Amino acid sequence: MDSVSQLALGAALSVTVMGRRMPVWQSALLGAVCGTLPDLDVFFDRGDPISNMTMHRTESHALFYLTLVSPLLSWLGGILFRLRGQVIRLWLAVWLALITHPLLDTMTVYGTQFGLPFTDYPYAIGSMFIIDPLYTLPLLVGVIAALILRNRRGLRWNHGGLIVSCAYLLWSLFAQQQATEAARQAIAQNYINGERVLVTPTSLNTLVWRVVVMTPGTYGEGFYSLLAPQRPLTFTFYPRGEALYARYRDNPYVARMAWFTHGFFRLSEQNGHLWLSDLRMGEEPYYTFTFDLGPVNTPDGEVLPTRINTVRPPVSEMIGRVWQQMKAE
């Protein structure tokens, strides 16, 4: 999720755990810092854009490592805020703010390797868009109310914000299941030879869902609205570059992307160059992660990939497209 959501979640959890045993501004600050810390790995250069992408949310998001470092951070917090006699509660606040960061990230489609060092599998549920105001606003309102009121009523506002945000996460799972079932029915009714199916929310909501189905040689994209369940789910198909993949599957960058995306990627030739796109994030033809692997016929791994900065539509246009998809016929 975005940094604001992680900051708000960490602050809300810390305020909840510490209650009135610590000034609200101190507990909120402690939780906000710990909730943000795992994302500092974006400042480490892994050598190339694809490695930077696929190695984000790795060790710094591992539940094991975060648990190991939590006593040190809680000890430092106790010294900084001169808090005594609340060792266990302070550690619990820090630990929860740390580990809920990767767990919340797992709700998006990106891929979070929170099982390191035991497994490097990139877990991704994909029921939440990376930015969703309906998740973040209750947390912010609750924390701000606690900071302003600084009494039991303020703490109740904070608790309420946490409850509402957690309920919204559960709703996203239910909504995703509904969209997935509709997608499977549409695939079966249209006799589509689907190998894999991806169902993720469109921008800033959990009402309109994007469905991607991978077939031999192509991939299809369609949209399903929970507000118009009677509308048929139709797909538009595009080439996925099977011939190029057969030729370049041993390229280390292609192989890593194929692993990280669970097979939801596309290879294409653009102006004599080999382009590699992650099909999970974005919509046709705008994809967040597209890379230029250099001229076709370049030996595998000889040219460092460069990220293509695709021109995305304005936010107003994206919201307008979502609204049009929400409207029932």
Q: What is the pTM of this model?
A: 0.92
The pLDDT tens digits along the chain (329 residues) read 999 999 999 999 999 999 999 999 999 999 999 999 999 999 999 999 999 999 999 999 999 999 999 999 999 999 999 888 889 999 999 999 999 999 999 999 999 999 999 999 999 999 999 999 999 999 999 999 999 999 999 999 999 999 999 999 999 999 999 999 999 999 999 999 988 999 999 999 999 999 999 999 999 999 999 998 889 899 999 999 999 999 999 999 999 999 999 999 999 999 999 999 999 999 988 899 999 999 988 777 678 899 998 655 555 565 565 566 555 44
| pLDDT at residue 273, as a whole number | 94
What's the CA gap between 4 and 109, in Å, rounded?
18
Q: Are residues 317 and 194 in the same domain?
A: yes
Express each pLDDT in 220-242 by its tens digit.
999 999 998 889 899 999 999 99
Is 170 domain-assigned? Answer: no
Examine the domain organization and report whether 104 and 221 are in the same domain. no
In a domain, 161, yes or no: no
Same domain, 313 and 244: yes
Note the pLDDT of residue 83: 87
Q: Is residue 300 part of a domain?
A: yes
* Domain final residue, candidates 110, 125, 140: 125
The verdict on 193 and 98 lying in the same domain is no
Contacts of 219 (CB under 8 A, 6+ apart): 212, 213, 237, 238, 240, 264, 266, 279
Co-location of 189 and 285 in the same domain: yes
The reply to whether 136 falls in a domain is no
Can you tell me whether residue 256 is helix, strand or coil?
helix
Mind spelling out the 3-state secondary structure of 135-171?
HHHHHHHHHHHHHHHCCHHHHHHHHHHHHHHHHHHHH
Clarify whether residues 99 and 30 are in a common domain.
Answer: yes
Q: At what angle do helices 133-149 and 24-36 cross, to 10 degrees?
A: 150
In a domain, 200, yes or no: yes
Residues 198 and 306 in one domain: yes
pLDDT of residue 85: 81
Q: Containing domain of residue 33, as a range?
A: 3-125
161 and 143 Cβ atoms separated by less than 8 Å: yes
Question: Both 225 and 121 in a single domain?
Answer: no
Residue 237: burial class (beta carbons within 10 Å; 0-12, 13-18, 19+): middle
Is position 255 within any domain? yes
Instruction: Tell me, yes or no, whether 160 lies in a domain.
Output: no
Q: Is residue 241 part of a domain?
A: yes
Counted domains in the chain? 2
